[in-house]
Structure formats: C-alpha cells, structure tokens
Amino acid sequence: MAYTVLARRYRSMTFDEVIGQEPIAKALKNALVQNRVAHAYLFAGTRGVGKTTMARILARALNCQKGTTPEPCGKCDICQAIHRGDDMDVLEIDGASNTSVEDVRVLRENAHYRPARGRFKIYYIDEVHMLSRSAFNALLKTLEEPPEHVVFLFATTEPERLPATVLSRCQRFDFRAVPTERIAEHLKNILKCEKVKAEPDAVLAVARAGRGSVRDAMTLLDQAIAVGDGQVALEDVRQTLGAASGEKVLAVLEACAAGETGKALTALAELLGGGVDLGAILEQLMRQARDLLVVKTCGPEAELLDVFGPDRKALAGAAEKLSVPALVAWMGYLGEARSRARWVVDPRPIAELALVRMAAASEMETLPQVLAKLETVQRSLRGAAPPAGPERKVGVSPAPARAEPPRAATLPAAPPAADEKKKTVGPAAAAEAARSQGQPRPDAADDPLVQKTVRLFDGRIIRKGE
C-alpha cells in the first residue's frame, strides 16, 4: 500500500481537533446546535491553516447518519466518505480549473436535484477567487436563494479578489496563522504517535519554518524524519531547509561590526561555496541581525531568539560591539537587499553591497554623539571670540501662530560703513574698526537685512536675558 503523508493521516476529524481556530469552531458548533446554519460560508486564510479540514468537518456534521450534530461520529459510511473527499453529496470543486460560465451553469442545474443519501447537497469550491467575473455573475442568483437542501462552502487565500456581491451573500470566517507554540505541540503529539525520537529544538525549528501553516510544518516534519533515518535532529532539519550554520552567519555579521569589509565578503563567499542559496543566506542574516537587536534590548536570556542561531553567549558578545541605531540600519540594508535580489538574475552583487554598507555603518555616530561634538565646537568658537562690551544674543524665533518654525537665519555683524569718499569695507572690518576706536559695537538688529529677514520669516528679535 502507498505511503500516506502525515498531513493526510493526521487531518483533524472534529471541530475540537482543529488547532488555532477555536473561535471559528465555536461559531459553527453553536450554529449547528441552534439550527442556524447559513446557506453559504466563506473560509479565508493562508494555506494550510484548516480551511478544507473545517469544511469537511462541517459537511460531516450536516450529513452524519446519526443526525445533524456538532460532533459527527466519524465512523459511518457518510463520515468516512466525506473525510476521504469522495462522497457523492459533497462535491469538492477546484476553482482554478473550473472557472468558466459553463461550469457554473452545470452546477446550477445539478443543484436542483435532491441529495442521494444525505440531508444536504454541499458544494465546496476551493480557491474560489479563481472563478471568472462572468462565472461569479452566473452564480449570484443561486447563491442568494439556493434550494433548501444546498449549502455552499467557499475557500480562498485571496478574499480581496472576490466581488462584493459574493461577499455580501456569505458568512465570512477568517482563519488566522497558527502560533508556533501550538504547531510545535501538535508535532510532538504526532511524533509520539509515530514513535519517532526528536530533539526539542528540532521540533521548534520545524514549527517556525511552517510560518503559521500546520500543513507546511507537517510536510517538513515528514521530510526531516526521512532525512534523519527515523529520528529528527536539529542538523537534519537544517539540511532539510537548506539553512547555513549559525556560527558562519554570525562570522559575517561580526566582520561587518568590526568594519572589516574584505573579511565579511570572504565569509559570504564561503557560505555560497557550501551550496547555500543566497536568498536563504540573506534571510538568516536578517534573522541574526534581529536576534542581535533582541539581545541588545531584551538581554541574552530572552525567549525570542532563533533556534538556528549561534550560542547565546556568542550573540551577547557580538551585540556589545554594536549600537541599536547601527542594528536598525543593518536590518534596513538586508531587507532592501532581500527584496531586490528576487528580481535580478545574479543577486550576489546586491548582497555584497549590503555587507559593504553594513561594514560602513560601524563608523556611524549616534545623534547624541553628534550633538555633543557640535556643542564642543560651539564652546570653542565662543571662547576664541574677542570680548567687546556687553554681549547681546540676537536670533530669530518663530511666531507662536505659525505651524512650522522658521529656518535659522545667520545674522551679519554691523552694517558696512558707507562713505562716498572712502572705500566701502565689510561688516566684520567695520566692527573691528569700531572696537579699536573705542566706539560701541553696532546693533545688528538695526541692520536692514536683518529686519527684512525677520519680516520674511514672520519672526521677532530676541536679546540675551529676555
């Protein structure tokens, strides 16, 4: 007999067994108990989260031989046929290959006939968003007022592509991505039933690789069992996913943290030489940069780190050499490189450019450091200026009524001394001459240029001490 994959063998049989979708299961069970089953349901959500499973459980609950019940027996002929997907009264239609108006016309004509042995004739259309616009329009009247023995169940991963006229005729349930912890717990129960030994970190890695999809995680687990010859180890999972060693990925980041661009590019070349896909490398680099940020902000004992990453002590040591702004910049560079690498034939130069920018980011200074340097320069300039009379601080301040502050204006010194018989000198020379002759320093606020600037920016002149 052919082998049946884990995703099919351990498909949930009751509402309570569907993990991660408890609110939807509760709503459907209450509808069955209160006899408030709608004539059309729409199940929306990403792949592998239980849409088809929930549709089959609802179909069994409606047609079970022991009667309409929220807990179908799962043992009668009808329940078993629906679970296999070959019951004559539950028609599972692939929306991707039955998209025309003619297919919908055949569906409408057959809907008028009574079910062969069940109480309801159930039409389950998977990937319903693939139907054409004309097919949707042909289905609207039947969908709005179907025969009393017909129930429509639609499933889609792209509900935004459905017409509003179809959405308004269905009760919609949005299936969420299943949390990693719930998937890991489910995988452990499957391994226990299969009598397969597994490392806890390996199970968690498989659950995370599923990215919220139970079916994807179970498929990866099936593959990991085959690679590990009946047992699941973290290294086997890494090979299954095509991931690189966490220590080698950290070596790339440490070289960037030290500003050693050549060493970082060499480490990247070694990863590529080991046969690891460049897209997977960029993904791991971004994950480890994120782990460094977590260690920097939450500490090395945080439970948010990637299981494929290096030792926590190594992460903590690398995080000490980096600042939070630098790590934020790193994640921006890597995210940009990952997005651009998907659309080019040779993405390696894009990845190398990201590493060069990351290595240069180690020379970046934080905003407080820049401000401190500016204050030091300002103090030094003030100390170098020659003292002359009572110092006045002249500046332009924004009027309270304006939404945006005016731009800072650089105010000149005293206006130039104008003499028709003498050569005109600059404001700095005029001020120096006035000081040397013991005259008071001219007031810059009386300068026409200053007054014009104040009026332009709708400001006012303030003096020191005001």
pLDDT at 446: 73
Asked whether the beta carbons of 316 and 300 are under 8 A apart, the reply is yes
pLDDT at 198: 92
Task: Return the HEC string of 263-278.
Answer: HHHHHHHHHHHCCCCH
- Can you give the residue ranges of every domain in the chain? 6-174, 180-241, 246-361, 394-462
pLDDT at 161: 93
pLDDT at 465: 63
What is the greatest pairwise CA distance in the chain? 118
| Angle, CA of 96, 97 and 99, to the nearest 5° | 75
What are the CA-CA distances from residue 184 to residues 19, 50, 151, 219, 312 (Å)?
11, 16, 35, 13, 22
Six token digits for residue 78 = 């009808």
CATH number belonging to the domain at 6-174, selected among 3.60.21.70, 3.40.50.150, 3.40.50.720, 3.40.50.300: 3.40.50.300
Q: Which stretches of the chain score pLDDT less than 70? A: 1, 306-310, 362-366, 384-445, 449, 456-457, 464-466
Mention the CATH class of domain 246-361: mainly alpha
Residue 104 in 3-state DSSP? helix
Tell me the CA end-to-end span of the chain in Å, nearest whole number. Answer: 94
Q: State how far the Cα of 430 lies from the Cα of 358, in Å rounded to an integer.
A: 51
Q: State how far the Cα of 150 lies from the Cα of 132, in Å rounded to an integer.
A: 22
Q: State how far the Cα of 466 lies from the Cα of 462, in Å rounded to an integer.
A: 7
pTM for this structure? 0.70
Which stretches does DSSP call E strand in 22-88? Answer: 40-44
pLDDT at 71: 92
**Exposure b/e, 130-156, CB count within 10 A at least 16 = b:** bbeeebbebbeebbeebeebbbbbbbb
pLDDT at 437: 58
pLDDT at 153: 96
Domain 180-241 sits in CATH 1.10.287.3610: no
